[in-house]
Amino acid sequence: MGSAARLLAFLLLGWAIEVVAERPPSALELFVRPDKGHCIACHRLPDNAGPQTRADLGPALDGRRMREIGKARLRDVLADPTRANPATVMPPFGRHRILDDAEIGRLVDFLHGLP
Ligand code: HEC
């Protein structure tokens, strides 16, 4: 490989790494990452929707129930569950700015689409 080609390969690799690093986390990543939602610590997901755990601090999340609750109320739950239940152990992800609006939106779509 000539030095120009090597330089180009190096620059492209650097760019690719940057693109991967800056891609916003997917809903499932937000769901499992300890520095984001870490929802998986308290909630179980339906089969095939993500990692299977025995977490039971919060209710198991299933699609039918999520669609019953509806997107608007799901958004409220994620933004600040203490409004509905001041004694809840679920963190107020929006109010504490752990998740931004777009991240909450992606999680709401993910929950709403669960099997
Ligand atoms: C520390 C434990 C904990 C964490 C972390 C947590 N939750 Fe919860 N969650 C709960 C509990 C407990 C409830 C039950 C409602 C209450 O306490 O008022 C709940 C309720 C819910 C509900 C309503 C369920 C229903 O059937 O009514 C949804 C939806 C939900 N959580 C989603 C999430 C998502 C998404 C995340 C991550 C961004 C998350 N939770 C993180 C504990 C947790």
Tell me how far the alpha carbon of residue 42 lies from the centroid of ligand 1, in angstroms.
Answer: 7
Mean pLDDT of the chain: 92
Pick from 42, 61, 64, 69 the residue to mutate for probing ligand 1's pocket: most ligand atoms within 8 Å of its CB. Answer: 42
Judge whether 50 and 32 are in contact, CB under 8 Å. Answer: yes
Q: pTM for this structure?
A: 0.87
| pLDDT for 2 | 76
pLDDT for position 6: 77
pLDDT band at 20 (very low <50, low <70, confident <90, very high): low
* CA–CA separation, 10 and 27 (whole Å): 31
What is the percent of the chain with per-residue pLDDT over 90, rounded to a whole number? 80
Contact 51, 35 (CB under 8 A): no
> Mean of the pLDDT values across residues 58-85?
98
**Does pLDDT of 26 surpass 70?**
yes
| Torsion angles phi and psi, residue 44, rounded to 5 | -90, 145
Residue 19, pLDDT > 70, answer no
- Fold observed for domain 25-112: Cytochrome Bc1 Complex; Chain D, domain 2 (1.10.760)
Residue 53 burial (CB count, 10 A): 13
CA–centroid distance, 43 to ligand 1, in Å, is 7
